Copies of this chain bind each other. A is one copy, B any other.
Amino acid sequence: MTIRPWRKLPPEPLAQAKVFTLCRERACPPDASPGEAEARSFYVIHAPDWVNVIPITPAGEVVLVEQYRHGIHQVTLEIPGGMVDAEDRSPAEAAARELEEETGYVAASIEPLGYCHPNPAIQNNRCFSFVAREARKLKPTRFDGNEELATRLTPLRDIPALIANGQITHALVIVAFHRLGLRDGVKH
């Protein structure tokens, strides 16, 4: 069996959140006759692309960030990340900017680890992951309005245990470490 794409109709914005827009989209099954009679509705979150970055210090420590997350009402342990803003010229530039804003760290290099789809069923965006090597604390932090983050330096070798024991639970953070492991040929 071959899975074929549906015919997409223009999206209709339903609700504007701060960092995403909920849209109703309509699409016709591959076999449907032309016209909108057979269109079905789907709800899709439209968001800019996201980035996250694994900052590694010269001593081999990862610069993790602790912050309060309003989706789950808990303090989480993550890597720095955020949205690709309009003024960012590339996802790599967004990653370097978020790293500096959230931690004050600046890296000698920002290397791409590829992208994932955070949720291809209900979201339209991608998340690009990076590794930032030789990261050093050179600047003050600059938090967004409701942000407050604390940095937690953690040896890279301890990351698998933090994922296995449930201290790191953010899917996109786990994906970044998975891609770093694929790149380096070791498990993180």
Is the Cβ of B163 less than 8 Å from the Cβ of A178? yes
A108–B114 Cα distance when bound, in Å, is 35
Cβ-neighbour of A72 out of B15, B114, B124, B178 (below 8 A):
B124
A175 at the interface (CB under 8 A from B): yes
Residue of B nearest to A164 (CB): B182
Of residues 80 through 130 on chain A, the ones whose CB sits less than 8 Å from some CB of chain B are 114-124, 126-127
Name A's interface SS.
Answer: mixed
Number of copies: 2
Residue of B nearest to A72 (CB): B120
A8–B73 Cα distance when bound, in Å, is 8
Residue of B nearest to A127 (CB): B171
Instruction: List chain B residues, Cβ under 8 A from A123.
Output: 71-72
* From A75, A115, A121, A126, residue with most partner B Cβ within 10 Å: A121
Q: Could you list 11 A-B pairs, sorted by A, with CB under 8 Å?
A: A3-B150, A17-B22, A18-B43, A20-B122, A71-B119, A116-B171, A118-B118, A163-B178, A163-B182, A174-B179, A177-B178
A interface with B by C-beta (< 8 Å)? 1-6, 8, 14-15, 17-20, 22, 25, 27, 29, 40-45, 66-76, 114-124, 126-127, 146, 148-150, 160, 163-164, 166, 169-172, 174-175, 177-179, 181-182, 187
